[in-house]
Amino acid sequence: MKKQTLCYTSVKRIVLFAVIAALVLAAAVAAFVLLASVEPAFFDENAVVGSPEEILPEDTTYKLYMAEGVCDAALCELPKITDGKDLKIFLTNPENNSVYIRAEVYTVAFVRDAGGNVVDYYHDELLGKTGFIRPGEYVETLTLDNKLKDSETYAMIKIATYNIDDGTSNGTFFVNTILYK
């Protein structure tokens, strides 16, 4: 029987592959740990203290919506899309609220009967959302996840709440609107 000998070049190759495999594994573990520890921003980084009345464009209808037992929120009645994906929403959390609020914008899906008449509707695809804003703050612009194809899009803006004291929700309410490009 012939005795096999280990070549120095083969040992170098095996060690090199083992080192590379260990480095790739260490990089994968580090990336996983980093991604698992990253928390999404809770508060909207673009929140401004105050009210947007003095910077509202003249053609903007700004309205206070009140949901008893949930919260109050002011925003544009017909928000406009600028720069492709920026929705001028002017979401405002009035100072009298005791909750943080955020806006989530959804497309609307219509349910039609056999004759084609709309009999119901519901929120469908999430288009984008703000972070939470504190009482006495507002957010001028919400960036949509994708550009909208149509010049008019039926939308539902969900106002979500977060209780400052205990971390629960006061509930939500929806504002029906049309987004214009």
Q: pLDDT tens across 22-61, in order?
A: 899 888 887 777 666 555 578 999 999 999 988 888 888 9
How far CA 174 is from CA of 11, 33, 76, 102, in Å, comes to 67, 37, 13, 12
Burial class of residue 38 (count of CB atoms within 10 Å of its CB; 0-12, 13-18, 19+): exposed
For the stretch 128-179, pLDDT in tens is 999 999 999 999 999 999 998 888 999 999 999 999 889 899 999 999 999 9
In the chain, how long is the greatest CA-to-CA distance? 96
pTM: 0.76
Alpha helix stretches (DSSP H) within the chain: 8-37
